[in-house]
Structure 1
């Protein structure tokens, strides 16, 4: 994770939330400080986007971290998959 400081990181959280932002720092518990954050929340098959300047993230709620990644709207993917099956 040291190599990711200063670069973009995609974080999947518990629940239906994903976060993309520039990693400023972290501690031994994987609590993170992020800048220029975009928060994606999926509620009832609708994606909600929230912009945050700076965020302190609790490491206990993180499930996956992808350096340089971007979130995928899974609901769009499921619709395309259903269309290809029909």
Structure 2
């Protein structure tokens, strides 16, 4: 039987890797995960911010509030169109 990892253990395995973070509202971030805490507050570096208009903003570093994190992926680019992701998150919550 395969061993199971807790959610925070999975995030811990992503430290140093590129991740994609979907936030509540209309923001998404792609960057390298530097660290996180028990509340899933995350520090990313070499960040690209995406908003609902498709605009992209480059940021050297950012702190994301864990209360607003909806989904984290190890992919550094979106896996699904934004509109579909929003619907999946809505159903999941």
More strand by share: 1
With over 3 angstroms needed to count, the CA separation of the structure-2 counterparts of 1:48 and 1:73, relative to structure 1, is farther
Q: Does residue 52 of the first structure (1) align with residue 59 of the second (2)?
A: yes
Aligned residues: 73
1:5 and 2:15 are equivalent in the alignment: yes
Structure 2: how far apart are the matches of 1:69 and 1:21?
7
TM-score normalised over the length of structure 1: 0.77
1:74 is aligned, of 79, 82, 93, to 82
| TM-score, normalization by structure 2 | 0.72
**Deviation of residue 74 (structure 1)?**
3.5
| Structure with more contact order per residue of length (Cα contacts < 8 Å, sep ≥ 6) | 1
Q: CA RMSD in A?
A: 1.6
4+ residue runs over 6 A deviation: none
Unaligned ranges ≥5, structure 2: 1-10, 85-93
Structure 1 match to 2:69 = 62
- Structure 1, unmatched stretches of 5+, are 78-86
